[in-house]
Amino acid sequence: MRRFTDLYLALDGTNSTAEKTAMLVDYFHSAPDADAAWVVAFLTGNRPKGTGATGLLRDLCLRHTGHPAWLFDECRSAVGDLSETVALLLPPPDTATDEPLHVVMRARVLALIGVDAEAKERIITEAWTVLDAESRLVYHKLVRGGFRVGVQRKTVAKALAKVAGVDLDLVVHRLTGRFRPTAADFRRLLDPPSPDEHLDRPYPFFLANGLEGEVESLGPPTDWVAEEKWDGIRAQLIVRNDSIRLWSRGEESIGPMFPELVAAAQLPPGTVLDGEVLIWGEHGPRSFFELQRRLNRRVAPAPQLSLFGEESARFIAYDLLESDGIDRRPEPFESRRSRLERLLAQRTADVIGISPLVPFADWSELAAIRNGCAGRGTEGLMLKRRESIYGVGRTRGEDGWIKWKVDPFTLDAVLIGAQPGSGRRANLHTDCTFAVWDRREEPACLVTFAKAYSGLDQAEIESLDRWIRTNTVARRGPFREVRPEQVFELAFEGIQRSTRHRSGLAVRFPRILRWRKDKPADEADDLETLAGLLPASGT
Amino acid sequence: MLLEPTVDGLWCEAGGFHVDPWRPVPLAVVTHAHADHATPGCGRYLASERTLDVMRVRFSKDLEGTPVDWGTPIELGQCRVSLHPAGHVLGSAQIRIECDAEVLCVTGDYKREADPTAEPFEVVPCDTLLTESTFGLPIYRWPDPSTVFERMNAWWRENAAAGRTTVFLSYAFGKAQRILAGLDASIGPIGVHGSLVGPNSVYTRAGIRLPDVLRADADSAATLAGGGAIVCPPSATGTPWIRRFNGPEGARMGFVSGWMQVRGRRRWRAVDRGFILSDHADWDGLISTVRASGARRVGVTHGSSEVLARYLQEKLELETFVVPTRYVGESPPTSAAPPEASTDEGVPDREREE
Is B264–A476 a contact, with Cβ atoms under 8 angstroms apart? no
Question: What average pLDDT score do residues A488-495 get?
Answer: 82
Interface residue A475 vs chain B (CB under 8 A): yes
Residue A267 clears pLDDT 60, i.e. is over it: yes
* Cα atoms in the 13 Å half-sphere on the side-chain side of A151: 31
Same domain? For B126 and B22 the reply is yes
List the single residue in A with minimal CA-CA distance to B253.
A14
Determine which of B152, B164, B275, B353 to mutate to test the interface with A (most A C-beta atoms within 10 Å). B353
Distance from CA of A91 to the nearest CA of B (A): 10
Query: Which amino acid makes up residue A267?
Result: L
Contacts of A502 in chain B (CB under 8 A): 352-353
User: Higher pLDDT residue, A466 or B174?
Assistant: B174
Is B349 part of a structural domain of the chain?
Answer: no
Assess contact for A521 and A434: CB atoms under 8 A: no
- What is the identity of the amino acid at A151? V
CATH number at residue B245: 3.40.50.10710
- When pLDDT is averaged across residues B330-347 and rounded to a whole number, the result is 36
pLDDT per residue as tens digits for the range B191-232: 999 999 999 999 999 999 999 999 999 999 999 999 999 999
Note the pLDDT tens digit of each residue in B92-138: 999 999 999 999 999 999 999 999 999 999 999 999 999 999 999 99
Domains identified in chain B, total number: 2
First to last CA, chain A: 54
Rounded to a whole number of angstroms, the CA Rg of chain B reads 20
**Pairwise CA distance, residues B33 & A115, whole Å:** 58
H runs (alpha helix) in B60-125: none
Interval A40-59 mean pLDDT: 82
The mean per-residue pLDDT over the stretch A117-140 comes to 93
Of B275, B308, B333, the residue that ends a domain is B275
Of A71, A77, A89, the CB nearest to B311: A71
* List of residues 6+ apart from B282 with CB closer than 8 A: B112, B135, B140, B141, B142, B258
pLDDT band of residue B290 (cuts 50, 70, 90) is very high
pLDDT above 90 (res A259): no
What is the average pLDDT across B313-328? 83
CB contact under 8 A, B139 and A80: no
Mean pLDDT, rounded, for A48-69: 88
> Which chain A positions have a beta carbon within 8 Å of B354's beta carbon?
451, 500-501
- Give the one of B267, B268, B333 whose C-beta lies nearest to A78's C-beta: B333
Is B348 part of a structural domain of the chain?
no
Q: Please indicate, yes or no, whether residues B19 and B125 belong to a single structural domain of this protein.
A: yes
pLDDT of residue A400: 84
Q: List, in order, residues 6 or more apart from A246 with CB less than 8 Å away.
A: A235, A236, A237, A238, A253, A254, A255, A258, A261, A262, A277, A315
Assigned domain for B350 exists: no
Which amino acid is located at A381 in the chain? L
pLDDT of B263: 81
**By a Cβ cutoff of 8 Å, what residues of chain B touch chain A?**
137-141, 261-268, 270, 272-274, 304, 307, 310-311, 314-315, 329, 332-336, 352-354
Mean pLDDT of chain A: 86
Range from A215-219, A240-244, B2-6, B42-46 carrying the lowest mean pLDDT? A240-244
Interface confidence (ipTM) of the complex: 0.89
Count of alpha carbons within 13 angstroms of residue A300, beta-carbon side: 23
Residue B28 lies in a domain: yes
Is A15 in Cβ contact with B353 (below 8 Å)?
A: no
| Cβ separation A67–B272 shorter than 8 A | no
Pick the residue of A75, A136, A431 with the most B CBs within 10 A to test the interface with B by mutation.
Answer: A75
Nearest CA in chain A to B283: A89
- Closest Cα in chain A to B162: A19
- Residue A400 per-residue DSSP state: S
Q: DSSP label at A5?
A: H
Provide the pLDDT for residue A201. 80
Residues B59 and B160 in one domain: no
Distance in angstroms (rounded) separating the CA atoms of residues B280 and B1? 26
DSSP assignment letter at A48: P
DSSP state of B8: T
A65 touches chain B (CB under 8 A): yes
| Closest residue to B353, CB basis, from A71, A75, A502 | A502
Q: How many CA atoms lie within 13 A of B77 on its CB side?
A: 15
One domain for residues B307 and B333: yes
Instruction: Tell me what the pLDDT averaged over chain B comes to.
Output: 89
Q: Within this chain, do residues B118 and B157 fall inside the same structural domain, yes or no?
A: no
Q: What is the pLDDT of residue B221?
A: 96
Q: What is A206-394's CATH number, 3.10.110.10, 3.40.190.10, 3.40.630.40, 3.30.470.30?
A: 3.30.470.30
CATH superfamily of A2-144: DNA ligase, ATP-dependent, N-terminal domain (1.10.3260.10)
Q: Is A448 on the interface with B (CB under 8 A)?
A: yes
Which domain range does residue B32 map to? 4-140+279-342
Confidence band (pLDDT; 50, 70, 90) for B347?
Answer: very low
The C-alpha atoms of residue A97 and residue A268 are separated, in whole angstroms, by 54
* Whether A13 and B266 lie within 8 Å, measured CB to CB: yes
pLDDT of residue B333: 33
pLDDT tier, A492 (very low <50, low <70, confident <90, very high otherwise): confident
So what's the pLDDT on residue B67?
97
Which member of A79, A89, A475 has the closest CB to residue B262? Answer: A79
Distance (Å, rounded) from C-alpha B128 to C-alpha B298?
A: 6
What's the CATH number for A409-531? 2.40.50.140
Q: Which residue of B has its CA nearest to A502?
A: B353
pLDDT at A49: 72
- Strands B251-256 vs B273-275: parallel, antiparallel or unpaired: parallel
Task: Determine contact: A12 vs chain B, CB below 8 A.
Answer: yes
- B261 and A477: CB-CB below 8 Å? no
- The pLDDT of residue A536 is 45
Q: Are A481 and B268 in contact (CB under 8 A)?
A: yes
- Please say if the pLDDT value at position B327 is more than 60: no
State yes or no: pLDDT of A471 exceeds 60.
yes
Specify the 3-state DSSP secondary structure of B49: helix
Q: Are strands A243-248 and A233-240 parallel, antiparallel or unpaired?
A: antiparallel
Torsion of CA B75, B81, B84, B87, to 10 degrees: -130
Q: What is the DSSP letter of A350?
A: S
* H-helix or E-strand spanning residue B97: strand B93-99
Torsion, CA B177, CA B181, CA B185, CA B190, rounded to 10: 0
Beta-sheet strand order (sheet of A224-228): A224-228, A380-385, A401-405, A206-210, A393-394
Measured in angstroms, the CA of A20 and the nearest CA of chain B are apart by 12
Question: A364 Cβ partners below 8 Å, 6+ apart?
Answer: none
Q: What is the pLDDT of residue B341?
A: 33
The pLDDT value given to residue B328: 36
Distance between B291 CA and the closest CA of chain A, angstroms: 18
Dmax (CA) for chain B in angstroms is 67
Q: Do A85 and B274 touch (CB under 8 A)?
A: no
Whether residue B154 is found in the same domain as residue B125? no
Kind and range of the H or E run holding A36 = helix A33-43
* Same domain, residue pair B149 and B238: yes
Residues B170 and B67 in one domain: no
Best mutation target, A148, A149, A475, A501, to test chain B (most B CBs within 10 A): A475
Minimal Cβ distance to B264: which of A65, A68, A80: A80
pLDDT tens digits, A287-306: 666 777 777 665 554 444 44
Between CA B314 and CA A394 the distance in angstroms is 59
Residue B159 has pLDDT above 70, yes or no: yes
Q: Are A202 and A177 a contacting pair, CB within 8 Å? A: yes
Domain end point (choices B275, B305, B330) = B275
pLDDT at A469: 86
Q: Which of A97-111, A393-407, B118-132, B316-330 has the lowest mean pLDDT?
A: B316-330
Task: Determine, yes or no, domain membership for B352.
Answer: no
> Residue B331 pLDDT more than 50?
no
CATH code of residue B75: 3.60.15.10
Measured between beta carbons, the chain B residues lying within 8 angstroms of A81 are: 263-264
DSSP sequence for A438-479: ETTSSS-EEEEEEEEE--S-HHHHHHHHHHHHHTEEEEETTE
> What whole-number distance in Å separates Cα of residue A425 and Cα of residue B43?
53
DSSP-assigned states of every residue in B245-263: T-BTTBEEEEEESGGGGSH
Query: Quick one: pLDDT band at residue A37, thresholds 50, 70, 90?
Result: very high
Q: Does A15 reach chain B within 8 Å, measured CB to CB?
A: yes
Residue A500 to residue B354, Cβ atoms within 8 A: yes
What phi and psi values does residue A48 have, to the nearest 5 degrees?
-65, 150
Q: What is the pLDDT of residue A494?
A: 66
Q: Is residue B353 part of a domain?
A: no
- Please check the confidence at residue A361 and state whether its pLDDT lies above 50: yes
**What is the reported pLDDT for B343?**
46
Question: Which positions of A are catalytic?
Answer: 229
Mutation site, B133, B134, B139, B272, interface A, largest A CB count within 10 A: B139
Domain boundaries, chain A: 2-144, 206-394, 409-531
Mutation target vs A (from B142, B300, B335; most A CBs, 10 A cutoff): B335
Q: Which residues are within 8 A (CB) of A99 and not within 5 positions of it... i.e. 6 or more apart?
A: A1, A107, A130
Angle at A409 (CA atoms; ends A407, A413), nearest 5 degrees: 155
At A295, which helix (H) or strand (E)? helix A288-296
Find, among B36, B56, B126, the residue nearest to B345 by Cα: B36
Residue A349: predicted pLDDT: 63
- Burial of residue A167 (CB within 10 Å: 0-12, 13-18, 19+) is exposed
Averaged pLDDT for residues A92-120: 91
Dihedral of CA atoms B302, B303, B309, B310 in degrees, nearest 10, equals 160
pLDDT at A538: 35
Phi, psi of A24 (to 5 degrees): -70, -40
Taking an 8 Å cut-off on Cβ atoms, the answer to whether A78 and B139 are in contact is: yes
Q: Are B34 and B172 in contact (CB under 8 A)?
A: no
